[in-house]
Structure formats: structure tokens, C-alpha cells
Amino acid sequence: METANNDITVLVTGGSGFVGGHCILQLLQNGYRVKTTLRSLSKKNKVLASLKTGGLTNFDNLQFIEADLGDDKNWAEAVTGCTYVLHVASPIFLRLPKNEDEMIRPAVDGTIRVLKAARDAGVKRVVVTSSFGAVGYSHTDPNTLITEEEWTNPNDKTLSAYLKSKTLAERAAWDFMAREGSELELAVINPMAILGTSLGPDMSSGFELLKKILDGSMKGTPKIELGIVDVRDLAELHLLAMVNPAAAGERFLALSGGVMSLHQIAMLFREKFGDRAKQVTHKELPDWQIRLAALFSKQAKTIVPLLGRTRNASNAKAKTLLGWRPRSNEEAVLATAESLFKYNMIKDE
């Protein structure tokens, strides 16, 4: 990574989030000045506490700005003086919207709002956090590797509103760049399941699945495979894509490499944590049982579209082009579990 200094300012959108927090931490550790947007400045102390947990003691180079992806207010101020923007934020929904457009429009419009503000302010490059869901969700051939060349079909009927919003928001970003990006550069990161060390007790949604395995509330594991990336490696990949000239105009799949089934994760917990994992199931559920349960359970119904989906994707581009060296799936999974224990999300007996 190129040597950073205090003359370079980076805007991170969504600084109170799991990924945003780790991006801020690494930027400050590398000597950058950082601005970050929060939907409400009431979250400022939460961000500061998480950065302290990450080992930071000096916050002189950090500035907070209140800005919402659904409103033009303060975005011009947020990007002023910035060389780079890491657009990590996604619209937040406390409930699943009845109409998918309620989720899709804010994602698309918010991304374009950030890109326009960055372009108008003379920002050099924006790195957008998209999702593997925008790349390989429609992929059906388990025998071929999924690469950045592929796109999820937004008309796939099994696509959730969230994944559809990610797909259409990334499409809109590339379309904007081709049409009116001017001198602005764009790079996109497409992470798989984001796990790893949490900087605070507010866990991301990805932790819930592993929590259910660890605390024994999942009585049997569905046959689902995960591609995984450690959040620390994901933050590093954002920084690499930010400064490396080769990253301009490129998208990068972010995963450790290979996949892990939920059953493999359960067995890893039983192996590594002994008595702390005594409630972890060793049963793997057949697909028919999940499909049957889906007739009566909303939770099971959300799992059905994941059955039989291949997650066989390649991280070669990020490793070759940017020199990225991610941790293993096992390291990311165990770090997640340690955070769950640390913040008393699991009874550690």
C-alpha cells in the first residue's frame, strides 16, 4: 500500500457500520485524515468507542458529518477536500418493506448521490461496497468458478429485495460513470459473507447465523455453503482498491477462498471451543426437511432460496492485481465466535 500522509482526506460513508468502522480504523492507522458520515451524530460516541477497542488513541484526524443517503443535505460538505471516497453505507431498514422499491430506490439513488457529489468536488476515486449478490447469485454451474465478469440477473424471482437493491445500485453506478462520470474513477468491492472481529457489541447481521449455531438454537444445519471474507481483510481491500492505479474501473470479489458449509463451521466450533461449544449441533438437515418446514416457518422460507446455490468464486483478481492476501475462512469464523463470546452473546460457561 502506498505511503499515506495527513495531506490526504478520505470520506467513509456509514462510519457506524461493521465494515465502515474497520475502514476508518485502518485509514487512521495509515495516517490518513478521515471524514465519516452518520445518519445521526448521536452515533458518534459509538464509533469512537469501537475505534478505541481497535487500539486507536488519537482522534485528531477524524471528523463526523451528519448525512443521509436519501437527502442531498450535507453531501457537498462531506466530500469537500477529499481525495478518495469509500462508499460503504447501505440504506437501513428495521422492517422488511412490503414493496421492494422501498429498498431498491434508496440504494440506487443514494449511490448516485454520493457519486455526483464526489465528481462535482473533484474527488479522484470512489470505492463502492457492493455485494457478491450482485455478481454470482444467478450462477448455476457448480463446476465453474464465479468471477467478476458475471452479473446477477435482477429479474431472478428468488432474489431478495436487498440483493436486488445491491445489484441495481452497482449497475447504476457503472452506468453513471460511463455517462457522466467525467474525471472521477470508480472501483467496486463485492464481498461474500462478512465475518471476523467485531469492534463493539452491536453485531452485524452476518453474526446472527453463527450465533444460532454456537448457542445451540440451530438444532440442525441446513446444507448451505458460505464464501467468507474477514472484515479486516475487506477493509484492507478497500484501501488497496482506493490507491492502486490498476483498480480504476474494476470490480473485485472479496472472499478468503473456497467455501465452508454450516456443518463444517459447526464442527470447527466443536473442535476448537470444547465445552464452550457443547450445545453446537452435529446434525445436518436434508433439503426436503427445510422445504417442508418452510410451509410453516418464515425463517425456513428465507433459507430455501439458498439451498443448492453454488458459492464457488475466485479471489484471484484481488490477489493478482492488488497483492491482497486474505486470512483463511477458519480464521474469520473463529474470530467471529471470539467476538460473540467477548460481548456475552453466548453464555461462556
Which residues are catalytic, by number? 166
**Neighbouring C-beta atoms of residue 84, cutoff 10 Å:** 24
Q: How far is CA 164 from CA 136, 142, 149, 182, in A?
A: 12, 22, 18, 27
Task: Measure the CA–CA gap between 179 and 177, rounded to whole angstroms.
Answer: 5
Task: Give the Cα separation of 342 and 346 in Å (integer).
Answer: 9
Q: CA separation (Å) from 163 to 137, 155, 227? A: 9, 11, 16
Amino acid at 112: I
Contacts of 11 (CB under 8 A, 6+ apart): 34, 35, 36, 37, 78, 79, 82, 84, 85, 86, 118, 123
The residue written with cell numbers 470490480 in the block is: 251
- 198-214 burial, b at 16+ Cβ within 10 Å, e below that, comes to bbbeebbebbebbbbbb
Question: Which string of DSSP letters, residue by residue, matches 158-186?
Answer: T--HHHHHHHHHHHHHHHHHHHH-TT-EE
Contacts of residue 300, defined as CB under 8 A and 6 or more positions apart, other chains included, come to 290, 293, 294
Residue 324 CB-half CA count within 13 A: 35
